[in-house]
Amino acid sequence: MVVEKLSETELDRLFQAFADSTRRDIVRRVTVGEYSVSGLAALYAMSFAAVQKHVAVLERASLVTKEKRGRGQIVRGNHEGLQKARRLLDEYEHIWRQRAVRIAGILAED
Amino acid sequence: MVVEKLSETELDRLFQAFADSTRRDIVRRVTVGEYSVSGLAALYAMSFAAVQKHVAVLERASLVTKEKRGRGQIVRGNHEGLQKARRLLDEYEHIWRQRAVRIAGILAED
DNA sequence: ATAACGTGCAACCAAATGGTTGTAGAAAAG
DNA sequence: CTTTTCTACAACCATTTGGTTGCACGTTAT
């Protein structure tokens, strides 16, 4: 199995992208259905430009993709980015579990 | 099973905490062993105060805890915070999978 | 008692973030 | 062709972030 290495700045961008509730909501929505940028903008109490910026942050973090369709641009979720974030947290969990096992082993030595 | 609800600001703090490579490294280290704040500070090419701030960010996000011991203060990993972050990403994955199943279902209707 | 160590905190600074408004271009509708 | 719609982008502003230095205070060591 090829364990694709994640660069640190890539991870910075990924977690930074998740660190805003509006962006988390956008990810949720575009995972379920398709939305144009203006379609998303209509959902939130902020300017179009603000939502546009949030989408740009998500795009830079590889969590969504944009695709031109007619006069608009549709936003889709990108499963790969999500998996990368999950993979890192899984790694931490693994480290944690190893540590728990080691401690149990030490305690058993008495 | 009680599915403890995570507040949005709690999630903001959690992901924000992960969005810095120094902080991710600190989490990794304190999960494996025990470190004082100054012990951590010695590891990075930045001032003690900077590391102290990173630890404070992690503490606010419930990813680490601090405990006074003698003249120093030891930093430990907090499994609960890590699990919360993982749980959210799992939720997204679940939504994604449901969607994949639904699309497969639609295609099968032909 | 004095010196050294570990920590917390405040003040400061540059850069990034999250928002705004305004302008401009490309595609669709009239 | 003109108007409307959707998008992109620049300029601007306030706040937060990530770093610094300096000072104060409690704890350990000499």
Q: Which secondary-structure segment (H or E) carries B68?
A: strand B64-69
At the top level of CATH, the class of A8-108 is mainly alpha
pLDDT digits (tens, 9 = 90+) for B48-62: 999 999 999 999 999
Across residues B58-72, what is the average pLDDT? 92
- Chain C: nucleotides below 7 Å from protein CB are 5-11, 17-22, 26-28
pLDDT number for residue A3: 56
β-bridge pairing B72-77 and B35-36 = antiparallel
Which of the four pLDDT bands, split at 50, 70 and 90, describes residue B42? very high
Q: Tokens for B88, please give them.
A: 């959210």
- Chain D: nucleotides below 7 Å from protein CB are 5-11, 17-22, 26-28
Name the minimum distance, in Å, from the CA of A72 to any CA of chain B: 24
What average pLDDT does the structure give for chain B? 88
pLDDT digits (tens, 9 = 90+) for B15-40: 999 999 999 999 999 998 899 999 99
pLDDT digits (tens, 9 = 90+) for A27-83: 999 998 899 999 999 999 999 999 999 999 999 999 999 999 888 899 999 988 888
Cβ atoms of B36 and B75 within 8 Å: the answer is yes
pLDDT number for residue B85: 80
Tell me the C-alpha to C-alpha distance, in Å, between residue B6 and each of A11, A41, A89: 22, 25, 17
Q: Tokens for B19, please give them.
A: 């969005």
Q: Which residue has the higher pLDDT, B108 or B15?
A: B15
Given a cut of 80, whether residue B10 has pLDDT beyond it is yes
In this complex, the answer to whether residue A36 has its CB under 7 A from any atom of chain C, a nucleic strand, is no
Which of the four pLDDT bands, split at 50, 70 and 90, describes residue A2? low
Given a cut of 80, whether residue A106 has pLDDT beyond it is no
